[in-house]
Structure 1
Amino acid sequence: MILGRTATISRSKIQSITCLSKLSYRSIGNAAVPKFPFSRPYGVEPPIEYAQLRVNTPVSKVELWDGSHVWLVTKHKDVCDVLTDERLSKIRTRPGFPEMNAGGKAAAKNRPTFVDMDPPDHGRQRGMVAPTFTPEIAEEMRPLIQKTVDEMLDIMVQKGCKEPVDLVPNFSLPVPSRMIYSILGIPMEDLEYLTTCNAIRTNGSATASQASNASNDLLQYLGKVTDKKITNPSNDLISRLVVEQLRPGHLTREDVVQIAFLMLVAGNATMVNMINLGVVTLLQHPKQLNEFKKDPSLAKGLVEELSRFHTASAMATRRVATVDIMLNGQLIKAGEGIIASNQSANRDEDVFVHPDSFDIHRPTGPQLGFGYGVHRCVAESLARAEMEIALTSLFQRLPNLKLAIPFSEIKYTCPTADVGITELPIVW
C-alpha cells in the first residue's frame, strides 16, 4: 500500500540514525540485543531506532524489562501481517506473551475482556459493545459532544485569560471522560471521584501500588453501579450488558464489570493525550493552524494526520506465536512474543511520503493509529468525532490561544512510554 511515490531516507539521515543506534546498543553493555522500549529523543518524536530498523532489520529481537527476548516488527506491511495472522495470539496468559512491565504481567492474570481474546471469543464479546460505537451512533452523538465541549469551554473562559489555565484538567480530560460516563450510565456527580482515580492509575509518576489501588477502587465502584443496573436497568451500555448478556447467562457479573472498566479506561488517556497533542502540533505549524481556523471542514484530515503522526497508543499491538511462522524472511517460533510497532509503521517511508512531516492535507491512507484487523479500536468513530469537535471548537472559540510556556518546557510523558502531555498551560 503506497501513497503517491515511494519515499526514501537520505544517506546522511541513515548514517546519523545508525550512529545513534550504535550508541544505544553500547549503553547496555556487550549485549547483542537492544533494550526495549526505546526512548523518544525529545518531545513527541518517535524513537530514532525505528527508522534504522526499518531500513536494515525490520524484524529483529529486543530485550524487555524482565530480560526476555521478543521480536520487534517495524515495517507497515509486516505490522499489518502480524495484526491479521490468526496464528498469532492476543491471549496474555500464554507463555511468551510480551508484557511491558511488572504491572502489566500482574494485570494479565485478571479476567480477560475481548481485547485480550482470540477469535471466536473475541468477536462474540466485542459484538456485545460494538453496536454502541458504530459510525451512525457517533454521528448521532455529535450534538451531545458539542454541548459537552461548549460547557467546558464556557467554564474555562469564565476563569479568564490573564492567568494561565491548564488545558488538561479544564478541557482535554473532562470532555472524553464525560462522554464515556454518559455512555456507560455513570452518574455525573461521581465524575470528579472517577477522574481522580483514573488520573492516578494512568499517571506516570504514580507508584505501582497507587496505580493498583486506583484500579481496584474503579472496579469496586463499577461493581456497585452494575448491581444497581441489575435491579433497575436504564438506557445505557452497562444496563444493556445486564439485560441482554448477564440475564440470559452469556456473561457473569464480573464480566460486565470488567467490560465497563475497559470502556472507562482503555481510550480515555489516549483521547486526552491526542487533544493535547493536537493543540501543540497545530501551534507548532501556524500556517496549517490558520488554514484550519478559516476552514473547520479540515478537521477530518487533521484528526487523520494526528492519528498517524503521533500514534498515542503505541505499546498495545502485541502477540505471541502459537505455531512456527515466517515473517519477512524471518522464522518466528511457537511461543515467541511479537511487538508490532504501529508507531514505526506510521512513519514508514515506503507507505507515506515525507512521513516525518505533519500535513493536514495528506491524502487519506492506511495509517494505523487506531490499530488494524479485528482488534482495531471499537470506539474509533466516537474518538474521531470527539477530536474533531474538541479541536475545532477550541480554536474557533479561542482563536488567539497560545501556550503560556515555551515549547521546550512542555511536560511530556516518560520518553519510554506512550507519547502524551501531562500539563498544558495556555492563555488566549
Structure 2
Amino acid sequence: MTMSNSSYLSELHKTIHYSKTKRNSQPPIPSPENPHITKMTAPKFPFARPSDYQPPLEYAHLRAQDPVSQVELFDGSLAWLVVKYKDICSVLTDDRLSKERARPGFPELSEGGKLAAKSKPTFVDMDPPQHMAQRSMIEPLFTKPQIDALRPQIQETVDQLLTTIIAERDARPSTNCSLQDVQPFDIVEKFALPVPSHTIYTLLGVPLTDLPYLTTQAAIRTNGSSTALESSCANASLLSYLSTLVSQRITVPKQDLITHLVTTQYHHGILQKDDIMQIAFLLLVAGNATMVSMIALGIVTLLQNPTQLELLKADAEKWSPRVVSELCRFHTASALATKRVAKEDIVLGGKRIRKGEGIIAATMSGNRDEEMFDQPEEFDMTKEREVEALGFGWGEHRCVAEWLARAELEIVFGMFFFFAFAGTFSLSEAMEEVD
C-alpha cells in the first residue's frame, strides 16, 4: 500500500492553522531598554515549516536566543510568542491572562479566526468560573471509564474500515504485479478521516451519511487560506445543520450527547438552544482535523522508524500507549490553539507584557525544548520522558476529549499495522514512494 493525496494532508495542516507562507529570516532580539519591537522588525507569524513533519526552524533559534518575543500577525498586529516549556506552562495557568477571544488584543491567525471569534463562545473560549461551569456539563462523558467502554465500538469501526480497504483491493483484477504496480489508496480519505468522524458523529447522534458534507464545511471554516466570505458561509451552514439537529432532539430525544445536554441543561433552563448548538459545533469540528493529521503522520513516522515499528508489531498492547504519547509530543497537532490576551500587565521571561497584548504559547516548540526533553528532535517511544508533553495542552483548558483521542490512536496504530503486516496488504518500504 502506498499513501497518496499529499495535497489533502497539506490542507489538513492548514485546517489547524499551519502557515504555508515563505519562511522569514531569524527574528531580531529586542534590547532590554526597548523590549517592544515594531512591525518593521517583527518577523511574520506563523512561521513556515521545512516539511509537514518538522517544526519551524525559528523555534530552536528563539528558544536559545529570545524565548519571549514579538511577532507580526496576518493583519499587521503584534503578539508575543512564547517558545519554552516552562514559560508556556506559566501562560496556560496564569489567571491574569484571558482565553476570551472577544477581548481586544486577542491574537487571531486568519480572517476565518476573526470571524469565528464573533460566534457565541463555548467553554474553550471562556475564563473562570464560566469555563468550568460549562465544561463540567460534558466532562463526565469523556472520562477514562466512559471512553474505555467505547473502545469495542472504536475497534469495530477500525476493523470495518480496514476490511473494506482490503475488499476493494481484492475486487480489482488480479495480476502478478510488483509493489510499484499496486494501485495506491488515499490513507486520509479511506482511513484517517473516517475513524474519528464516525466516533464523534455517533456520540453526537449525527447520521454518518452526512459525514462528507459536514467534513467539507468544517475544513472550509478553519482553513487558513479561506476568505472571510467562504468561512462565513461554511460557519452558517454548520450552525444551521446543528440547529435542526438540536431541535429534533428537543422533541424526539435519543441516546446521544446532544440529548444529554437537552435533558440535563436545556429543560432546566441552564443552557439555551444556541448554547447546545455551539457545544455540538465545537465537538464536531475541533478534534477531527487534529485526529486525522495525527493518524496520517503517525503512520508515516512509524514507517520512518522501523526498529520501533517492530516493537509495536510484536506487542501492540504494551507499546500503543507509548507510541501515542510520543507522537503527540513529536508532532503536536493543535500547535497554535493555545492563545491568550493579558488582562493586566505581567512580566514573563524578563519581558513586560502589557494589558491588552496577545500571547501565543507555541506548544510545538515547548515539546522540543532541549532543557526538558532528551534528544527532543528524535522520535523515540522507548524513552521514559521525565516530564509530560504538551500535546493535549496544559492547565484547566487541557483537552476535554484527551482520553477519547488516546483510545482512538492506540487502537488505530495497533490494528493498522496488524493488518498491514499480516499479509493482507503491503506498505511502501521507501518513504520517497509515499505520496
TM superposition score normalised by structure 2: 0.85
Label 1:47 to 1:260 Cα distance change in 2 as closer, same or farther (>3 A): same
1:327 to 324, 344, 348: 348
Question: 1:277 aligns to what?
Answer: 297
Residues 393 and 195 of structure 1, relative CA distance in 2, 3 Å threshold: same
Matched, 1:306 2:306: no
* Alignment correspondent of 1:355: 376
> Pick from 201, 205, 212: which aligns with 1:185?
205
The one of 75, 84, 94 aligned to 1:66: 75
Return the offset for 1:56.
1.1
- The structural deviation recorded for 1:151 is 0.8
Contact map agreement 2:115 2:232 (CA 8 A) in 1: no
2:394 maps to which residue? 372
CA contact (8 A) 2:201 2:207 kept: yes
Between stretches 364-373 and 306-315, larger displacement belongs to: 364-373
Over residues 259-288 of structure 1, what are the superposed CA-to-partner deviations in whole Å (9 max), with x where a residue is unaligned? 100000101100000000000000111111
Partner letter of residue 328 of structure 1?
Answer: G
The residue type equivalent to 1:330 in the other structure is: K
Q: Would you say the 8 A contact 1:301–1:360 is kept in 2?
A: yes
Deviation per residue, 1:18-45 (Å, 9 max, x gap): xx9983459xx99321111111122311
Match of 1:23 in 2: 25
Change (3 A) 1:409 1:186: same
For the Cα contact (< 8 Å) 2:24–2:47, is it kept in 1? no
Alignment of structure 1 residues 4-403 onto 2, 5 Å? 23-25=25-27, 31-160=40-169, 162-202=182-222, 207-296=227-316, 297-364=318-385, 365-399=387-421
The 3-state SS of whatever aligns with 2:25 is helix
Q: 1:102 to 1:191 in 2, by over 3 A?
A: closer
SS for the counterpart of 1:378 is coil
Check the 8 A contact 2:258/2:276 in 1, yes or no: yes
Q: Which amino acid aligns with 1:140?
A: A
8 Å CA contact retained: 2:112, 2:226:
no
Alpha-carbon distance between aligned partners in 2 of 1:404 and 1:216, rounded to the nearest angstrom: 42
SS of residue matched to 2:312: helix
Residues 100-121 of structure 1, C-alpha deviation per residue, up to 9 Å, x if partnerless?
0111112111100011100000
User: Unaligned regions of 5+ residues in structure 1, if any?
Assistant: 1-19, 411-424
Q: With the length of structure 1 as denominator, give the TM-score of the two structures.
A: 0.87
**Other structure's SS at 1:40 match:** coil
State the identity as a percent.
53
Q: Using a 3 Å threshold, how does the CA distance of structure 1 residues 195 and 404 change in structure 2: closer, same or farther? A: farther
Alignment root-mean-square deviation, CA: 2.2
Partner Cα distance (1:384, 1:226) in 2? 28
Structure 2: unaligned runs, 5 residues or longer: 1-21, 29-37, 171-181
Counterparts of 1:214 and 1:408, CA distance in 2: 36
Cα distance 1:405–1:102, how it changes in 2: closer, same or farther (>3 A)? farther
Equivalent position SS for 1:23: coil
What is the CA–CA distance in structure 1 between the aligned matches of 2:73 and 2:254, rounded to whole Å? 45
C-alpha distance in 2 between matches for 1:157 and 1:304: 29
Cα distance between partner residues in 2 of 1:391 and 1:200: 28
Is the 8 Å Cα contact of residues 60 and 73 (structure 1) preserved in structure 2? yes
Query: 2:27·2:58 contact (CA, 8 Å) conserved in 1?
Result: no
Distance in 2 of aligned mates of 1:21 and 1:331: 27
Q: Aligned equivalents of 2:345 and 2:221: distance in 1?
A: 37
